[in-house]
Homo-oligomer: A and B are copies of this chain.
Amino acid sequence: MLRSCAARLRTLRVLRRQPGDARLPGSQPGSGRSFSFEDVTEKDQALPKPSWSKDLRLLFDKFMKKCEDGSWKRLPSYKTSYTTSTIQDIRAFFSGSIPLKEELMSQARLFTRSFEDGLGFEYVMFYNDDEKRVVCICQGGLYLQGPPGFLHGGALATLIDITLGTNAMVAGGPVMTANLDISFKRPVPLCSVVVINSQLDKVEGRKFFVSCNVRSVDEQTLHTEGTGLFIKLEPGKSLI
């Protein structure tokens, strides 16, 4: 499945607009050359909210500390009410084909940010360019239930997908998911916080191989392991 490249394009833009960060760390020269640089005024969702648990706040603070020496960076995240120029950017990957009628586009929401605060996916990602790692700290809300009291497997697969995809993206620019392989070990309690640790294992041409594990906050419980294969998008080349 094509990954959330619009959301990521926005992330790329914001990163690029930071002082001293004119190019996305780790990106290939020329990647994303069609991106524009308009102002981003939407609220960053990857910052503390009242709905965050104490565990999520503590982990956030811990990773923000790691950001102080520049080894780690926090990735901003938006609900993504797509701008005209973002859609134009995306069209470059789809040969002009966006299948949804324009009057509906404005009502569409990014899946992982489509819930009210605290009820769905709450997450923040951090990346370390030297280590080619992305860590996602996340809390699954009350509307993500599978069996009573536990996170739905599809919700966890979604969080793994975006974490692995983001890892591939920060290394090589916008990508699409070609394969996800997820092994579920122990269920995740609803409203608990888990840490998804991902690393870029290998790059072969346009193929990015990424793996991860999902652990409890105290690291004692291994909930899930996963691998992903992502294909780098090439602007102007048709995918569909």
Contact = CB atoms under 8 A, between A and B. Distances in A.
A101 to B, nearest CB: 9
Interface residues of A, number: 67
A182 interface: yes
Contact of A190 (B3, B5, B100): B100
Contacts of A155: 111, 154, 158
B5 A147 contact: yes
Interface stretch (A16-24, A102-110, A199-207): A102-110
Q: Which secondary structure characterizes the binding site on chain A?
A: mixed
A188 B147 contact: no
Given A158-B154, A161-B154, A161-B157, A146 B4 contact: yes
Contacts of A190: 99-100, 104, 108
A182 B100 CA distance: 25
Contacts of A146: 1-4, 110-111
Nearest to A8: B147
Given A99-B189, A183-B178, A191-B100, A105 B149 contact: yes
A150 to B, nearest CB: 6
Contacts of A90: 147-148
A148 to B, nearest CB: 5
Nearest to A187: B2
Given A104-B142, A108-B149, A111-B144, 13 more contacts: A1-B153, A1-B156, A1-B184, A2-B150, A6-B147, A87-B148, A99-B149, A107-B142, A108-B190, A110-B146, A111-B155, A114-B145, A177-B184
